[in-house]
Amino acid sequence: MNTAVYKILLVDEDQVFVRQTRQLLITQSYDIHTASSEEEGIIICQQQQPDLIICGAHLRGTGGHHFIMALRNDPGFDHIPLIFISVKDNKQEMRMAMNLGADDYLARPFRKRDLLLSIRSRLGRFAKFNHVHTPDETRSVSLANSSTAQQALYHRLGKAENRIIKMIAEGKSTKQMADELNVSIRTIENHRYRIAVKLGIAGRNALTEFVIRNIIQQQKQ
């Protein structure tokens, strides 16, 4: 993997940890950007569009969980893989981070190798989200028979959400989606909920029915 092209945002108020981690990642030829607060992190996301984010549990003025929520609530950033770093090694803390949308969880202290392997895995899994869709791929995800209003709604979805729409159309289960994207089932369920809210539909199976119904309409054209 050519790591030189990948931008990584490191968000943490612990400057010693930031400095040490930044130096480690620079040796791997990653392009590193740092922030110590949620606001700084969002600004850098807007300016740099990082390929991956490493977020600590404690940020200046707030916590890492708030940053994850802000990131996942923005369709422009919710596709970015995020590794959450905590000083607590317990299931409750890990479950909270993963439920909010973190893609991996590491507790300090951890081995340098574990962080590097997690980064490479996340970048490898999510690299497909960052390519430009061909016309055929675009047709497979978008709705050919949608109204202008529906099309506008689809444009509001993030890259990860559009990928999930496509996987629903392919008939994949929540577990299959979680395995393929290397995230938790809860993360997929959170994505499905946010997609349904953005599309203005409700009900446990409403999103699946919505996608299938539009596939049938498309096939009739």
User: Which CATH number fits the domain that encloses residue 174?
Assistant: 1.10.10.10
Report which of 53, 23, 22 is spatially closest to residue 40, judged by C-alpha positions: 53
Its domain, for residue 55, covers 7-131
Which of 96, 115, 131 marks a domain boundary? 131
Let me know whether 106 and 168 are in one domain: no
Q: What angle (nearest 5°) sits at the alpha carbon of residue 164, between those of residues 133 and 135?
A: 20
Let me know whether 175 and 117 are in one domain: no
Let me know whether 75 and 162 are in one domain: no
* Domain presence at residue 39: yes
Outline where the chain has alpha helix (H): 15-26, 38-48, 64-72, 91-100, 112-126, 135-141, 148-155, 159-169, 174-181, 185-199, 206-220
- pLDDT of 33 reads 97
- pLDDT of 115 reads 95
pLDDT digits (tens, 9 = 90+) for 195-217: 877 777 776 577 777 777 765 55
User: Which CATH number fits the domain that encloses residue 87?
Assistant: 3.40.50.2300
Tokens of 59: 């940020």
- pLDDT of 184 reads 79
* Domain presence at residue 45: yes
Report whether 44 contacts 90 (CB < 8 A): no
Q: β-strand 62-63 against 31-35: which pairing, if any? A: unpaired
* Domain presence at residue 80: yes
- pLDDT of 191 reads 80
Let me know whether 72 and 126 are in one domain: yes
pLDDT digits (tens, 9 = 90+) for 28-68: 999 999 999 999 999 999 999 999 999 999 999 888 998 99
* Domain presence at residue 112: yes
- pLDDT of 180 reads 82
Question: How many domains does the chain divide into?
Answer: 2
Low-confidence ranges of the chain (pLDDT < 70): 1-4, 125-156, 203-204, 214-221
